[in-house]
Amino acid sequence: MTQHYDIIGDIHGHADILVTLLNKLGYQLNEGVYRHKKHKVIFLGDFIDRGPQQREVIDIVKPMIEQGTALSVMGNHEFNAICYASHGASGQLLRKHSEKNTKQHQAFLDAYPEASERKQIINWFKTLPLFIETNGIRVIHASWNEPSREILKPLLDEKQCLLSNAYDICSQKGSAPYLAVETILKGPEADLPEGVSFKDKDGNVRKNARIKWWASKHLDKKERLHLGDNITDEHNISETEIDTSYHYSDDLPPVFVGHYWLNDETPIPLSENCACLDYSIAKDGKLVAYLWRGERILKESNFDWCEA
């Protein structure tokens, strides 16, 4: 019998809404762990940062994973937390304690003010695999990309977790492992033509755009990129080079991702075999789950969610 999974998107420190969603899906608290008689959860990572209940989220998801009622992949925010707390072989921090990085990470630091306890949580983050492939589905935080997975193979253990020295290697900007981790945890990007830019949701000016790697290669280039509404020189978008090696073919197994901060629309699959479950809970959106029951073609009716 195929194991059924309830796949839950980015939580970002919103424990109350997570409990509401778990209850809605039929999970009950039993001896300190949320359990279901038939189903398991798969979390998409990004448990921390942004939201008000960092510790409470970890107190829910960590026992579920340790007791086998849930699985999870690593999100880019867990990776960032590890690097923020780690030094490389050179003695330098793997992620600078800049004003921007610290501000993004402050809610987690406030939730775990004791360094020793924070270190325990960081070590637990390291046990989260980069991806899961099980029972005919694939789960990864931002994008499934075979070339990136091949680059990272020597840096992974048998559970697909990064080895201890891999964080140093993957933090060396411009290196192949760095770009591979960026692709898997943040998604592939394309450089925009000279003079073209837009502002993202945080107001930062961006001169590159995320590639919709699940979209048909036959679509217009604008439809294959995540672009802001305020883009400049829109007529030059056709000049953007989009690497087709990132494309996820429709004959591959269903894949589930988070990360992309989708808006208030009703959740639907991105394609027949790809679903994003990040609907911006940290910005008053939804916490979304997909109830996978063995289907090859994903269904709109299998989404469920709770509003912020």
Task: Collapse the DSSP code of 102 into the 3-class scheme (helix H, G, I; strand E, B; otherwise coil) and give the result.
Answer: helix
- Confidence at residue 235, expressed as pLDDT on a 0 to 100 scale: 58
What's at 208, amino acid-wise?
N
The sheet carrying 255-257 orders its strands as 131-134, 137-140, 255-257, 274-276
Domain map of the chain by residue range?
A: 4-188+252-307, 189-242
Instruction: Give how far Cα 250 sits from Cα of 93, 133, 146, Å.
Output: 41, 17, 15
Round to whole Å and give the CA distance between 250 and 304: 24
Round to whole Å and give the CA distance between 143 and 259: 9
- Confidence at residue 190, expressed as pLDDT on a 0 to 100 scale: 87
The counts of H helices and E strands in the chain are 8, 17
Mean of all residue pLDDT scores within the chain: 92
The owner of tokens 């990864």 is 140
The answer on pLDDT for 234 being more than 70 is no
- Confidence at residue 126, expressed as pLDDT on a 0 to 100 scale: 98
166-196 pLDDT tens trace: 999 999 999 999 999 999 999 999 888 887 8
The answer on pLDDT for 240 being more than 70 is yes
CB 308 within 8 A of CB 14: yes
117-159 pLDDT tens trace: 999 999 999 999 999 999 899 999 999 999 999 999 999 999 9
- Confidence at residue 210, expressed as pLDDT on a 0 to 100 scale: 87
243-288 pLDDT tens trace: 778 899 999 999 999 999 898 689 999 999 999 999 999 999 999 9
CATH of segment(s) 4-188+252-307: 3.60.21.10
**Per the structure block, which two tokens stand in for 235?**
């007529």
65-113 pLDDT tens trace: 999 999 999 999 999 999 999 999 999 999 999 999 999 999 999 999 9
The owner of tokens 């589930």 is 256
Out of 105-114, 211-220, 237-246, 283-292, which region has the weakest mean confidence (pLDDT)? Answer: 237-246
